[in-house]
Structure 1
Amino acid sequence: MRTAYRVEDVRAAERALMARVPEGALMQRAAAGLAAACGQLLGKVYGARVALLVGSGDNGGDALYAGARLARRGAGVTAVLLSPERVHGGGVAALRGAGGRVVDGSGDLPGAGGAVLRADLVVDGIVGIGGKGGLRPGAAELARAAEESGALVVAVDLPSGVDADTGEVRGAAVRADATVTFGAYKPGLLVDPAREYAGALRLVDIGLGGELSAYAPAVEAPQYADVARLLPVPGGESDKYRRGVLGVVAGSARYPGAAVLAVAGALRGGAGAVRYVGPAADAVIARFPEALVSAGPVPKAGRVQAWVVGPGLGDGHGDAGERLRDVVAADVPVLIDADGLRLADASAVRKRGAPTLLTPHAGEAAALLGVERAEVEASRLDAVRELAGRYAATVLLKGSTTLVAGADGGVVRVNPTGTAWLATAGSGDVLSGLAGALLAAGLGARDAGAVGAFLHGLAGRLAAEGAPVGAQDVAEALPAAWRDVRRG
């Protein structure tokens, strides 16, 4: 797992470590890692032009000491001081001693902006991990100059202007090509919208591992090996029931395709069998003759290990509402998606004894929470945690970074795979069937959501390869994604 820790826990770990090492040792470790990363990005350090955007905190000190290392290797380094009266004195002295120069960036001076516009690489050391809100006007102007210059932009610990704990961006912020973070990842580096500002991530080990072991991570991103360990693989004694039979209640006269896509996700996602209940039986059988169809009611559909309900269900007229209520009342794991989220009784969901997985996108989450969609998209971590607590369920919040949170308030999982081409009609229906199949195979709701999102995102990448895809293409790519994960 790639794990991220809250700012207060990282700081506590740093304090504990600083009490045991020589003064300034952690800053020198950070500066060394930062300078090495900058050197690799530049390729050739000698003769390169480097601009440091230096604030008053430790990030500014890290940037200055890293700049001194680059200057000793022949780079032309200019530090733009946004708060000259509060700058790290030792860092300034080190930079000057190495041949670097310093300019005052606290006013609208041509020298400050010019140093940025002429740079090959800009180092963002304006604000540290404790920063809240957007950049101040002067810093925002320099950040814009860095973006316009075409230079590589490297953020120190995290891009200035983003919230380290929540991933929120509440104003102007630095857009980095790469972020060099120290000791541990911060949640905001893994969660949009801040993730989009961070660029490529590099973690520099400064020795916090032992100290951080006292704290639980706030966010974790599964990697290939983590997902491979969770993949259900049939054995010699397996039959369709041991592999997991998934019931699917989806589709309507208006949206029969949703049922087909959910069944496709389930079958390509490893279900031993799929029992479909609903009005789209003809469409399902035409596409998947191996599916077991039933007119209902749900309790008489046959044995299942889990249910998926909601995709394309429509407005709940006819017997759709009854089918939904029967599924929610079932004593097996249930995944509720799409129209099911809008129609399900919240109190009945909360009272369920078996695991429940809700899979809203931002708009559906906003409706469930009674807020605007923009609020969910701006604060995704808060939204997924609030929903999980409110519904006493595991919640998979779909989007540019898909998040999975449990009702226990524990670690939120963030999905590292995916592509913008997955923003296509029916893609979520495929994900519902896939995650439902994993529930039926015996995975817990949090694992089923995380593994499903990982495979779905990877399948989207494999199917797209930089070009538009449809939901059926994503479903067809699931076996290739599965094989890719098993190969590591």
Structure 2
Amino acid sequence: MRTAYSVDTVRTAERALMARLPEGALMQRAAAGLAVVCAELLGRVYGSRVVLLVGSGDNGGDALYAGARLARRGAGVVAVLLDAERAHRAGLAAFRAAGGRVAGSGEAVFDGADLVVDGIVGIGGRGGLRERAVPLARAAAQSPAVVVSVDLPSGIDADTGQVTGEAVRADVTVTFGAYKPGLLVDPGREYAGAVRFVDIGLEPADGEAELEALQHHDVARLLPVPTEESDKYRRGVVGVVAGSARYPGAAVLAVAGALHGGAGAVRYVGPAAGAVVSRFPETLVSEGSPGKAGRVQAWVAGPGLGDDASRLADVVAADVPVLIDADGLRLADARAVRGRAAPTLLTPHAGEAAALLGTPREYVEAERLAAVRELAARYHATVLLKGSTTLVAGPDGGAVRVNPTGTPWLATAGSGDVLSGLAGSLLAAGLGVLDAGSVAAYLHGLAARRVSGGAPVAAQDVAGALPGAWADVRREA
């Protein structure tokens, strides 16, 4: 599992480590790791051309020391100092001693460059790039050179991923000691490119992670696996309250996700029973209210529900885990949701989250971490905030889960219905609410990647690819 830590936590860990090391040793470790990644990206270091964009902080020192290592291996390295008076003195001396050159005023440094190292601003920076740095960031982006950011792209908020103003767009970010939330959450993640981690010996305090990102082995450990004594009821039954005369497809897609989600059986309650059974004859169809449908271990309610608040209220009153999505988020009584004793999982997209919070959609999109935490606290529920980076937050204020497998091709009608059915089935199979949401998002993203191959994908194709994604995770783990 990847874990990301706040700037304050990283700084505390750095101070503790520096107290045990000789002066400057920690920066040398970081610079050595940075130089290794740069050399790998260059392929052939001797004769290559490298440009360093050097700010006044430690990131500038990292860049200068790494530039010195590359210069000693025969690269032509030029440094652009944004503030010559405040540049890291020891790093600059080492850079010059290795044959590195400081660029003169007005020099066309990017012409013929193979690689640009962004050491303008460190993880403590706030706001966008300062005025002098903006033309350099733009020129780097327009050049054919590979852009490598030191620890974090300059101009990105390390704690939130927020981008206010202009920022460096990196092809690769080399981060030291710990992941930072801004590298894993959009919009910052988009600017970071591929993230390469360099271990420098930091030991952030246990329990202080801001973000967690599951990996294959984490998901494989959580996936429900039937035993020899399992039957369809022991494996869990998930109930689905979805669809309407106008939106029968939402019911079909939610059931499709649920059938591939690990539970033993799926009960459907709603007006789209004919469409559901014609597509999935193994579904258990019930008439009347959800409370009379038979025993379930979890409910999924809301996709394509229209204005049928009565069925939703019946589900919210149940004493089993409940997932609420789509129309259900609009119809649900907030006090009833907050008062539930059993776990609740809300799965809004940015627009729905904004409506629940009473804020503009732009706030949710720019402040995704803050928004998902606020929703979870306000509704006493676990919240899965869908989007370019899906976030899952519990009401206890612990680490937020961020899903690393998503793809823009999932921005298609009905994909959220599939996700809801999948997550609900995992709840019925016995996963905790945070794990069910996180694992569902992970498999959902993998399935979309698997079936898409970089091309458009339909929601029903994603549902059909879930068993393959499930098998891939178990095999590769």
Scaled by the length of structure 2, what TM-score is found?
0.99
Aligned letter for 1:247?
G
| Among 314, 321, 331, the residue aligned to 1:343 | 331
2:175 is aligned to 181
Q: Please state how far the C-alpha of 1:90 moved relative to its aligned partner.
A: 0.6
Structure 2: gaps spanning 5 or more residues: none
Q: Please state how far the C-alpha of 1:178 moved relative to its aligned partner.
A: 0.3
Aligned letter for 1:119?
A
Alignment of 1:274-353 (within 5 A): 274-314=266-306, 316=307, 320-353=308-341
CA contact (8 A) 1:116 1:142 kept: no
Q: Please state how far the C-alpha of 1:117 moved relative to its aligned partner.
A: 3.6
Structure 1: gaps spanning 5 or more residues: none
1:61 and 2:49 are equivalent in the alignment:
no
Q: Please state how far the C-alpha of 1:233 moved relative to its aligned partner.
A: 0.4
| Among 251, 272, 276, the residue aligned to 2:264 | 272
Aligned letter for 2:433?
A
1:208 is aligned to 202
1:242 is aligned to 234
2:84 is aligned to 84
2:244 is aligned to 252
CA contact (8 A) 2:217 2:473 kept: yes
User: Which piece of structure 1 moves more, 291-300 or 475-484?
Assistant: 291-300
1:56-113 superposed Cα distances (whole Å, 9 cap, x missing partner):
0000000000000000000000010001111101111111000010136xxxx421xx
Q: Please state how far the C-alpha of 1:215 moved relative to its aligned partner.
A: 5.0
1:157 and 2:154 are equivalent in the alignment:
no
Judged with a 3 Å threshold, the aligned counterparts in structure 2 of structure 1 residues 348 and 288 are, in CA distance, closer, same or farther, namely same
1:215 and 1:134 map into 2 onto residues whose CA distance is 30
Scaled by the length of structure 1, what TM-score is found?
0.97
1:123 is aligned to 117
SS across alignment from 2:274: helix
1:110 is aligned to 106
2:131 is aligned to 137
1:215 and 1:18 map into 2 onto residues whose CA distance is 22
SS across alignment from 2:422: helix
Q: Please state how far the C-alpha of 1:116 moved relative to its aligned partner.
A: 2.5
| Among 233, 251, 254, the residue aligned to 1:262 | 254
1:169 and 2:163 are equivalent in the alignment:
yes
Q: Please state how far the C-alpha of 1:23 moved relative to its aligned partner.
A: 0.1
2:315 and 2:111 map into 1 onto residues whose CA distance is 61
Q: How many residues align?
A: 476
Aligned letter for 1:154?
V
1:213 and 1:487 map into 2 onto residues whose CA distance is 33
1:366-395 superposed Cα distances (whole Å, 9 cap, x missing partner):
111111111111111111001000000000
Aligned letter for 1:61?
G
Identity %: 77
2:14 is aligned to 14
1:343-364 superposed Cα distances (whole Å, 9 cap, x missing partner):
1011100000000000000110
**Structure 1 stretches of 4+ moved >6 Å:** none
User: Which piece of structure 1 moves more, 121-130 or 133-142?
Assistant: 133-142
CA contact (8 A) 1:117 1:146 kept: no
Aligned letter for 1:200?
A
2:26 is aligned to 26
SS across alignment from 1:51: strand
2:379 and 2:135 map into 1 onto residues whose CA distance is 44
1:403 and 2:353 are equivalent in the alignment:
no
2:331 and 2:126 map into 1 onto residues whose CA distance is 38
SS across alignment from 1:326: helix
Aligned letter for 2:124?
G
1:437 and 1:298 map into 2 onto residues whose CA distance is 16
1:256-293 superposed Cα distances (whole Å, 9 cap, x missing partner):
00000000000012221111111101000110111111
1:201 and 1:458 map into 2 onto residues whose CA distance is 19
1:191 and 1:415 map into 2 onto residues whose CA distance is 9
Judged with a 3 Å threshold, the aligned counterparts in structure 2 of structure 1 residues 214 and 277 are, in CA distance, closer, same or farther, namely closer
SS across alignment from 2:245: coil
CA contact (8 A) 1:312 1:338 kept: yes
